[in-house]
Every structure is written in C-alpha cells, then in structure tokens.
Structure 1
Amino acid sequence: MRNESWPLEPVLVLGAGPVGQTTALLLARWGVPSIVLDRRPARDLAGSKAICQQRDVLDVWEAVGAGRRIAAEGVTWTTARTFHRDAELFSYEFAEPGTPVFPPFVNLSQTRTEEILDERIAAEPLVDLRWGHEVTDIDQDAAGVTARLAGGRTLRGSYLVVCAGARSDELRRLLGVTFEGESFDDRFLICDIRAELPGWATERRFYFDPAWNPGRQVLIHPCPGSTFRIDWQVAAGYELEAEVESGALDARIRRIIGDRDYEIVWKSVYRFHSRVADRMRRGRVLIAGDAAHLVSPFGARGLNSGVGDAENAAWKLAYVGHGWAPEELLETYHDERHAAALENIAVTTATMDFLVPADETRARRRTEVLERAATDQDARASVDSGRLAEPFWYVDSPLTTPDPRRPFAGRPPRGEAPPAGPGVLVPDAPVVLPGTGPTRIRALARDGFLLLAGAGFGPTVAVRVLKLAEIDPEGALTAALGARPEEAWLIRPDAHIAAVLTDPADLPAALARARGSLEWSPFAAGTD
C-alpha cells in the first residue's frame, strides 16, 4: 500500500460496529488516519445479530487481513432450501464466477466478527478507536467537519462517515436527511440454540407455514459450535417473557428439534423496517450502513450492503483527500450506494410482501402459488423466501463507461451472477504477477486503478497496466471475463469494472470518468 502522508485532518467515523470498523481499516490501507467514536462504554458482545457474511464481503475483509479468519471460524454453507409445510419446494446452490477464494456464504456471529476486526484495529496505528464518545452536534465548512461531544468537547476531522446504526435519528436530523419508509407490524423471534442437529449444519432452511408455526414462517441458519439461529415470524402482540414463563418457548423449540438436549444461547424479538435516507452525502459527511438504510433480514442484505458502503466511501475519500481525484467523486458515493440501497429495498420489500400479504386477496394468491409450486416448476419462480445478498452492479453509475457489446441484461436468476462487464464486480481468479509470483486479481485491483490490457494497449502514466496474457498464463481470468484479445479492462479500486475498451484513445476519457472528473487529468500520484 501507499505510504504518502495524508495532508488533512483525520477522517472521523461515528460508530464502531462492523461498518465503522471496516471503513476505518480500509481508510488505513490508503494511508488515511481515522478516529472512530462510539457512544457505548465498551463493545457489546451479546447475541449473534447479523450472522450471514457473503463471499464478496469476506473478500473485502481479506483486504484488511480479516477475511480468511472470519471464513475459517464460521460455518460454510452453499445450499438454500425452501419448504412449504413439510414438503421441499426447491433448493439452489450459488454460481461461482471465476475461481473465488471464499465460499458463497459463511455464518459467524456479528459479535465474533467485531472481535476479529477489533484485533485488526489494535494492530493498525492509523486507527484511533474511542469508546464513550457521544456526538451531539455536527458542523462543517469548506476545510473540514467539527463534531461536538457530550460534555462540550469538540473534535475536528477532514471528513465524517456516519456508521452509527439504525438509531441515528438525531444525527440524520442534524444533517437534514429524511428516513422515509415503513415498519412491519409482525414481530420476529430469534433464538440461538446449541443442539446436535445432524444434516442441518451446511444449509439454510426456510419454511412457509410449517406445522410448528402455522400461518407464518421460520428461518433456520447453522452457526459455529453446533449452534443454530432460528427466526420465527410471530404476531404483533407477541411477548417473549410470558412465553418463557409459561413453558411455551420450550415447546416451540422442541417442535422443530424434537426431544433432544438444547441450550438457549441468546434470544430476542425484533420488528422489521424498510427505510432509506434521501441523501447519503451531505458535503463532507457520508452516511453508511443501517444509519442510511434498513431492510428486512431475509436475504442477509443489511450488514453485507453496509460493508459495500464502507468500501465505496473509503477509496473515494482517500482519492479526494490525497488529491488523486476531484471533489466531485464524493457525490458518486451517494449516486452508487443510494442506488444499491434502493435495490435492496425493492428486493426485500418484495420478499416481505410475499411473507406478510397485505390483504386476504394476496394471502390467497400466495397460498395458491405455494401449493402449485410443489409440482409446478414455473410456480416456484414466484415463491419468494428471500433473494440472498449479492454485490450491487454499478451499471448506471456516472463512473461507468457503457459498452454496447456487453449490455447489462438485468437482475440474474437467484443464486447466479451477471456476466462480466462495465459496472460488475470483477470475477476473482488466480494470476501471476511478474517478479512477485501468484496472487489474485481482486487483491491487485484493490491497490488502485488497474488496466488489464489486451493487444494494442501499452504503458501509460495514468494507470497501472498489466498485460492480461502475461498475468493469466492458465487463462482462468480471461475465461471468467470472457475477454477478447483486443480488449482492455479498466478496474476500479473497489474491484468493479469501470470500462471495457478496444481503442487506446478511449482510455483517458474512461479513466477520467471513473475518477469523477469531466475532464481528463493524468493524476500521476497514486497510479503506480
């Protein structure tokens, strides 16, 4: 990584959850110091919370030295099964474009993920983590941001990233940001239970209207240590403590696991929300994670999307602050991540509309679809048990140069990835870097703008250039891209494809666009 000195005040990060931790660690990769402020007195290690880590998020965490550890400690699963009552309707496994290092999904409690990220922060001198620091006011000017703390002290930063979670109403108010959406009446009961359940340890199970939760849904996820996360949809007036005292919770659990020993590790009741901030950037302030968007967890799109926010914010703050890109690049954080949030809202709202029909007519239709799906392949496509997390495709981003030869065909079938092209995350594959040895294409991409050059493209001062044929002797990357000999692939610092070019004369404009500039400049700094 580059070691150029950061010319500005540190970046302030509000919130030390996974999104804030990831933001700070990624900023440090770019030589950017940060101060992470959390109002809590210390880390809260209770409960599993967000457990489902998607493959490409693990890859982001590997860039800060945590991905392989999280994957190794978690439970790997590759199959998603959906049932209606006691009949399996369908299952699917996940496509693996390229040769990915990580499995499609790994389940590990959020609390353990935070501990691993904390270890990385403790080893990173550019990250200053401070507990018990509540921000009560935010002021910004042309040179930076001032955060006022409870007690009257102030802290000055060059930029600020709000990662303070769903309960950031006051911070959003201070920034003039609305948080429109809806909240669902039904509640959901979570129990983490420790038990031996042979055959359930490597798959996600979703049940519509099972005998042990009639008229509602149940989701079961495996976790490490013979622990299983069970989510029951329950009525709006559900009272957990009353069910514990009456013995009904024990009966509820035994209807699923049978007459075997078990231990409740954690339990909670929560309500789903579907909300998105109208703005994810206000001047020098960026809003990320649950502070910017809330979605139902069927699809594991909350934390995974928050990490996408963190990566997008970190490289753009670094490029602007170091002087490698114009200030306009920061506005594309809102453009890209707000579009991602709206996509997640659309996907998860469709799931909730199917899970919790709004009226009797839609409830009858859902029942008809579920009953037909047992024997009708076409009906199964209408069964929505949650489309699982996937990277957002920046095909309509102002940073992306379209390629008419590689049009985006729209959202692919569940479990599949779109073909490589502008806006899509580059498929991972092993490559060989001359003079260095074996590595992966995403590891190279995350060190800055990269051009994978075909015939006719030579060295340039504007961007790192690697000949595709030289780094890909086995052809794995070429095949994953579907690359043609005459093409060059411009890859962003977050490993998304910015452009696919055939004429070297088009490179300056594509690179300028990918950096948020209307006019091309060589940006010699930060391009080696």
Structure 2
Amino acid sequence: MYDGTPVAVIGNGPVGQTTALLLARWGLRVILLDQRPGREAVGSKSICQQRDVLDIWCSVGADRIVHEGLAWTTARTFYRDRELFSWSFADPGRSALPACVNISQSRTEEILDECIAAQPLIDVRWNHEVTEIAQDSSGVTLTCGSDELQVAYAVLCAGAKAESLRRQLGVTFAGESFDDRFLICDLRADLPGWETERRFYFDPVWNPDRQVLIHPCPDSTYRIDWQVPEDFDADAERVDGRLDARIRMILGDRPYELVWQSVYRFQSRCADRMRVGRVLLAGDCAHLYAPFGARGLNSGVPDAENAAWKLAFVLHGWAPETLLETYHDERHAAALENLEITSATMRFLAPPDKAHWTRRRALLDAALADPAKVADVDSGRFAEPFWYVDSPLTTPDPTRPFPGRPPRGQLPTPGPGIIIPDTPVPGGRLRELVRDGLLLLTTTGSSRLETSAPPRVLSLTELGLDASVLGARPGESWLIRPDGHVAAVLTDSQSIPTAVHRVLTGS
C-alpha cells in the first residue's frame, strides 16, 4: 500500500515533465526539481514527435500537442537536384493520432507545464540544484543547497550535463563526439508544397559535399539544418551576409523571417547503467543520439513511461522491487539500438576518412541509376518504438518469431514484445484502455485475470474489433502491459497466471 512518500524527478525538461505527470496519473506524489530559475522558451530544439509519444502525452491531458503540431506524412531524400526515394508512414491500426507532428520543444514544454499546474500531486521547485544523491534501502536523500529532501525513489532527467550526479552514482557515459557541426535555423516563410514533407538533401549545390535537412513546423515556420565545417563561424556569416545568401539558395527571393539560429556538435553516448538502486536515469541523462531520425525525445518519453508504471506498481505493492531492474534491461537495450542506428547514420553523413567519402559518393551515384542501391542510402531511420521481444517480462511465442526491423516507415506484426496498434474502439482508441493496469484481450471472452495490479478483461467481440487487427487466432488471450506492449499471447488459460507473474517480476 502506497504510504504517500514522494518520488523526486530531477530535471524539468520534457522528459522530466512527462515522468512527473505519469507518476501523478498513477496517484503518486512527485517533487519536480530543476536548477534553473524558470522556463527558457528559446528555439525549436526537439521538434519531431512520433505517434507513440503523442499517445503518452494524450494520456496525461496534453492532447493540444497533437492539435497544434503540424502533421507531416512523407519523407523525401534527394541527391544533388534529383529525388532518390521517398517513404510515408504506415498506419495498420488506423489511429486517430497522426504518425508524427512537428512542434517546437518550447511549445511542448508550455503545454506540459499547464498540465502540471492542474495536477495537485506535483510540487514544482525551480532554483533547486541537486548536488548530492545518497540512498539506502529505505529511500533517497537529495541535497539541494542547505536543504535535504527525503524521497522514495528518484528519476534523473537532468540532461546531458548531469555529469556530477552520474559520477556520484558510479555511472559512466561513454561515446563519441562528431567533428562536423550543424547550423540550425528556424525560418518563417511561405513554401507551397513543402508544408507536409520532410526533405533531406545529400550534396546539394548550395552545400557541396554536405547535407541539408528541411522540416515544416506550425505557423509557416521551417527548421533547416545545414551540415557545416568544424571551423564554421555563425556570427561572422550573419554579419557579412553569407547566412542570408545561404538561406536564399534554398528559398530564392521569397521574403522570410529568421526566428532563431544555433550551431551544434552532436554526440553519441550511453550510460552503462540506467538503474542504480532507487535512482533511474532517463532521457539525455542516459543517452545522447545524433538527431537524424528524431530518436532523442522520442526515446526519452518512453523512458519516462517505462519508469513510471514500474515505480507505481512497486510503490502500490502490486509488484516486487525487482521489477525496477527490468527498467534497465528494457530501456538500456532500446538505447543501444538507437545508438547503433543513429551512429551508422552519422558515419554515412560525416564519413570519418577519405576512403569512406569515396564509397559514399559512389553509392549515391549508383543509387541514381539503380533503385536496388537506395536501401543502402542512410538519411536517418525515423524513430519507432522499441520492441521488447527479448525482455524478461515477455513470454515468447514460438509461432510468432520476431522478423527484425521492418522497412522504413513500417511496423512489425503484433506479437509478444510489440506495441499494439492504436486502433479505434467505441468511444476512443485501443491504447487508451491499457494504461490503468494489466489488460487481457480475448477472442472468446471466457478468460480470467487474477493479479494484485488493477486487472481488466475485454473480448475483441465486445470491443467491436476484428481479430485481424492484432493477428489474433481463435482461442487466444493477449496480455497487455500498461505501456501497450504485448506481454504474452496465450492459448491455454492455465498459463495466464505464469505470464502475469512474469510481467510483474521479470522471472
């Protein structure tokens, strides 16, 4: 039984905000800490939010992110002035949510702040820098200046610069930094035909031997990323007119407004541990990726969801504390996969030596004439949910082997470890039914679900769902976790307790 001791969330960025809102949704008290004096609404920063992240935000009342975001549907990749290929998002579940929206991180944070302000279980404290973390078997002690806070658990969402706190926890953050830099500009302009497309250019005449990425955003704003040399001087370019000339090469003589600009050098890093006792690491504090594929915030928000439901199950007494170790098992595996994918993209975008440059040019030249070569052109595989097929919480189904990553923009067939399609059901969406405990979806309606966690049993028939949406077979029961991932597909009702025990304990 939950005793009311709060959970601390350290870091009031979008991952920390989401963590706090999800914990409060489970009825837990939260102290949300940040060392800054207040919100800094500067620049677009993270802009691409995919459907599964939007679904999580809708569950905490932040559906305005969906409504205000710009939904784009098609990604086009060009080599110089010719289109190599394009792809569009698949939607087997016919979700009411768009596959992706673009919206500035600052606006996302504003909307999440309003949700937090309406949640009495969340205590927001700015100007609270956590300088020390100590823990024992009964809780966590956080030092903030002269104050000490006693909490049950802590989720560290303090971003990439939380090196001191990682060091105190004994966590390493190995990886690499890329030499090339990227100029990012938010521009307001009228670009007919570009409003719903992401455009990626290899070696355009207006940025030879490098890349340009163009994303549409709300209010006729476009985010343009140029890959630039290591010695690039943004201030000098702005003063002497080279920045305007650079923009004009893309926009022509259209009028535009420069809303924001910045220069970044990207890193690829991953913490060796995402759980240290009663402290969980999430978001940029645990992993950093190059942005091509939008896997940063789209990975941090699922970190938040995974941490929140497991902390809730433990604190409410529905699961043993050992469940928390599966947070590391699942989200560290997700981080490593994202690192593998984004690092491969960066090696293609910024080849490390002359030989790699030569091979890249040869491949791009060949892809113009041979469509079979297109599959090897890497302009960034867009974010997708991680599939917990190897998780200790997942009961395998030998009849549904995981085939591996599907083609760009596609999703795997539902099965153990895969997130269920967000298909419509009477009064809403299927994903909305999974968030309050464990859900058993049946093809017969005769199964029972006995668990200490809140249980729910629904038949596909009473939901009005065709079994083909899941690929469910007669006589099956599908055990669904609070994050929408399939824990087990069962044909024998006697095996349900074993699968439930596994999803609550990892054994």
Q: TM-score range by the shorter chain?
A: over 0.9
Alignment of 1:65-104 (within 5 A): 65-66=61-62, 68-104=63-99
**What is the letter of the counterpart of residue 13 of structure 1?**
V
**What is the letter of the counterpart of residue 32 of structure 1?**
L
Q: Determine whether 1:318 maps to 2:312.
A: yes
Q: Determine whether 1:15 maps to 2:11.
A: yes
**What is the letter of the counterpart of residue 511 of structure 1?**
V
Structure 2 Cα separation of the partners of residues 377 and 232 of structure 1: 26
**What is the letter of the counterpart of residue 134 of structure 1?**
E
Structure 1 Cα separation of the partners of residues 506 and 46 of structure 2: 37
C-alpha contact 2:445 2:459 (8 A) present in aligned 1:
no
Q: Which of 475, 488, 505 is 1:499 aligned to?
A: 488
Greater Cα offset, 225-234 or 371-380: 371-380
Large movers: runs of 4+ above 6 Å: none
Secondary structure of 1:135 counterpart = coil
> 2:400 maps to what in 1?
406
C-alpha contact 2:12 2:157 (8 A) present in aligned 1:
yes
How far off is 1:471 after superposition?
A: 2.7
Alignment of 1:98-247 (within 5 A): 98-150=93-145, 152-247=146-241
> 1:524 maps to what in 2?
none
Q: Determine whether 1:348 maps to 2:348.
A: no
C-alpha contact 1:491 1:498 (8 A) present in aligned 2:
yes
C-alpha contact 1:403 1:422 (8 A) present in aligned 2:
yes
C-alpha contact 1:144 1:159 (8 A) present in aligned 2:
yes
How far off is 1:456 after superposition?
A: 7.5
Structure 1 Cα separation of the partners of residues 2 and 159 of structure 2: 28
Secondary structure of 1:381 counterpart = helix
- Could you state the TM-score of these two structures normalised by the residue count of structure 1? 0.94
**What is the letter of the counterpart of residue 500 of structure 2?**
L
Structure 1 Cα separation of the partners of residues 449 and 314 of structure 2: 21
Structure 1 Cα separation of the partners of residues 94 and 324 of structure 2: 32
Q: Determine whether 1:299 maps to 2:293.
A: yes
How far off is 1:57 after superposition?
A: 0.3
How far off is 1:441 after superposition?
A: 1.5
Deviations 1:307-365 (A, max 9, x none): 01000000000000111001110000000000000000000011001101111121111
Q: Determine whether 1:510 maps to 2:499.
A: yes
> 2:460 maps to what in 1?
469
Deviations 1:234-284 (A, max 9, x none): 001111111111111010000100011111100000001000000000000
Give unpaired runs (5+ residues) of structure 1. Answer: 433-437, 519-528
> 1:521 maps to what in 2?
none
Structure 2 Cα separation of the partners of residues 109 and 474 of structure 1: 36
Alignment of 1:250-289 (within 5 A): 250-289=244-283
**What is the letter of the counterpart of residue 123 of structure 1?**
A
Q: 1:248 to 1:100 in 2, by over 3 A?
A: same
Q: Which of 445, 450, 454 is 2:434 aligned to?
A: 445
Structure 2 Cα separation of the partners of residues 87 and 310 of structure 1: 41
Give unpaired runs (5+ residues) of structure 2. Answer: none
Secondary structure of 1:196 counterpart = coil
How far off is 1:8 after superposition?
A: 4.2
C-alpha contact 1:451 1:490 (8 A) present in aligned 2:
yes
> 2:51 maps to what in 1?
55
**What is the letter of the counterpart of residue 472 of structure 1?**
L
Give me the identity figure in percent. 64
Q: Determine whether 1:37 maps to 2:28.
A: no
C-alpha contact 1:399 1:516 (8 A) present in aligned 2:
yes
C-alpha contact 2:366 2:373 (8 A) present in aligned 1:
yes
Secondary structure of 1:32 counterpart = coil
Secondary structure of 2:308 counterpart = helix
Deviations 1:285-304 (A, max 9, x none): 00000000000000000001
**What is the letter of the counterpart of residue 393 of structure 1?**
W
C-alpha contact 1:458 1:465 (8 A) present in aligned 2:
no
C-alpha contact 2:160 2:288 (8 A) present in aligned 1:
yes
Q: Determine whether 1:489 maps to 2:484.
A: no
Alignment of 1:355-434 (within 5 A): 355-432=349-426
C-alpha contact 2:443 2:461 (8 A) present in aligned 1:
no
Deviations 1:67-122 (A, max 9, x none): x3111111110000000001000000011121212111100000000000000000
Secondary structure of 1:374 counterpart = helix
> Aligned Cα RMSD in Å?
1.1
How many residues were matched structurally? 505
Q: 1:468 to 1:321 in 2, by over 3 A?
A: same
**What is the letter of the counterpart of residue 119 of structure 1?**
E
C-alpha contact 1:325 1:517 (8 A) present in aligned 2:
no
How far off is 1:474 after superposition?
A: 4.8
How far off is 1:480 after superposition?
A: 1.5
Structure 1 Cα separation of the partners of residues 82 and 450 of structure 2: 61
Structure 1 Cα separation of the partners of residues 271 and 449 of structure 2: 40
**What is the letter of the counterpart of residue 207 of structure 1?**
Y
How far off is 1:466 after superposition?
A: 2.8
Structure 1 Cα separation of the partners of residues 74 and 176 of structure 2: 31
Structure 2 Cα separation of the partners of residues 208 and 202 of structure 1: 20
Structure 2 Cα separation of the partners of residues 461 and 355 of structure 1: 52
C-alpha contact 1:431 1:471 (8 A) present in aligned 2:
no
Secondary structure of 2:505 counterpart = coil
Deviations 1:12-43 (A, max 9, x none): 00000000000000001100110000000010
Structure 1 Cα separation of the partners of residues 301 and 460 of structure 2: 32
Structure 1 Cα separation of the partners of residues 455 and 423 of structure 2: 19
Deviations 1:445-482 (A, max 9, x none): 1111000123384234326343423333252xx22201
C-alpha contact 2:447 2:457 (8 A) present in aligned 1:
no
Structure 2 Cα separation of the partners of residues 470 and 372 of structure 1: 52
C-alpha contact 1:39 1:132 (8 A) present in aligned 2:
yes
